[in-house]
């Protein structure tokens, strides 16, 4: 980072003001460590973030990153490792039995892990009687409809963990979390099955990289 003026160097800014004072491009610049031919490290970081933001970075693969000018395999691996560390910081909260009692709390926990997936994934979050996290799992990958996700598989997982309640979730790779008619039909089917099984479906969250749609918040969760 010697090509940058001292007051522009992220490391010095971190030392003066703390890590929270750094912008996304400055944090990424610290991971990259140096620039590329004709581009200083801050410009290289800004190029990587352009059009996708830090959330969109989570969807990139090693191959995607190495296609970018100035990013080789070693740098791409550094970026992916940093993103994975951030993800694991959130997922290890499960060991502390984090309480996920609101759609906002659920979205904050789910989006970093599943919101930016390139293919549609359907899963469930299993909760105890106090809405503390037991475990989350993916049950289906691919286009979502009522024929792909069977109640038997959903509630077998939940019953095996002695869950009192579950939250359904899936992502929309398009970036628009608005539920489709198939999403609503599947939710209705699984809510009815949960009533029979004695395991309540408390919400269905549709995820995108930076936003979510909660059927509970929208008043569209079947009763």
11 within domain boundaries: yes
* Number of domains into which the chain is organized: 2
Residues 112 and 182 in one domain: yes
The tens place of each residue's pLDDT in the chain, 223 residues long, gives 555 666 668 888 788 777 877 788 888 888 988 888 777 888 888 888 887 777 778 778 888 888 888 888 998 899 889 888 877 776 555 456 789 999 999 999 999 889 988 889 999 999 999 999 999 999 988 765 544 688 999 999 999 999 999 999 999 999 999 999 999 999 999 999 999 999 999 999 999 998 999 999 999 999 8
219 within domain boundaries: no
Which pLDDT score is estimated for 146? 46
Which pLDDT score is estimated for 190? 96
Q: Which domain holds residue 171?
A: 97-214
The dihedral built from the CA positions of residue 130, 131, 133 and 138, taken in this order, carries a sign that is positive
Coil vs helix vs strand at 123: strand
Q: What angle do CA 59, 4, 25 make, to 5 degrees?
A: 20
Residues 106 and 176 in one domain: yes
Q: Cα(153)–Cα(219) distance, rounded to whole angstroms?
A: 26
Last residue of a domain, one of 31, 60, 90: 90
Last residue of a domain, one of 62, 90, 118: 90
């Amino acid at each position: 980072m010697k090509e940058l003026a001292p007051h522009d160097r992220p490391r010095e800014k971190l030392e003066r003001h703390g890590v929270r004072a750094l912008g996304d491009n400055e944090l990424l610049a610290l991971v990259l460590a140096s620039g590329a031919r004709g581009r200083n490290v801050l410009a290289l970081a800004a190029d990587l973030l352009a059009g996708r933001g830090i959330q969109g970075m989570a969807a990139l693969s090693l191959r995607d990153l190495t296609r970018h000018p100035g990013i080789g395999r070693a740098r791409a691996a550094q970026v992916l490792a940093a993103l994975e560390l951030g993800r694991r910081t959130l997922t290890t909260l499960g060991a502390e039995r984090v309480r996920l009692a609101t759609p906002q709390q659920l979205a904050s926990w789910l989006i970093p892990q599943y919101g930016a997936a390139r293919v549609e994934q359907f899963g469930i979050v299993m909760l105890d009687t106090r809405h503390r996290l037991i475990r989350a799992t993916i049950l289906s990958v691919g286009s979502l409809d009522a024929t792909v996700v069977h109640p038997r598989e959903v509630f077998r997982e939940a019953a095996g963990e002695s869950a009192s309640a579950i939250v359904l979730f899936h992502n929309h790779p398009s970036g628009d979390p608005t539920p489709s008619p198939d999403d609503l039909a599947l939710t209705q089917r699984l809510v009815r099955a949960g009533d029979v099984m004695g395991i309540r479906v408390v919400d269905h969250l549709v995820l995108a990289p930076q936003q979510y749609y909660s059927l509970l918040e929208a008043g569209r969760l079947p009763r």
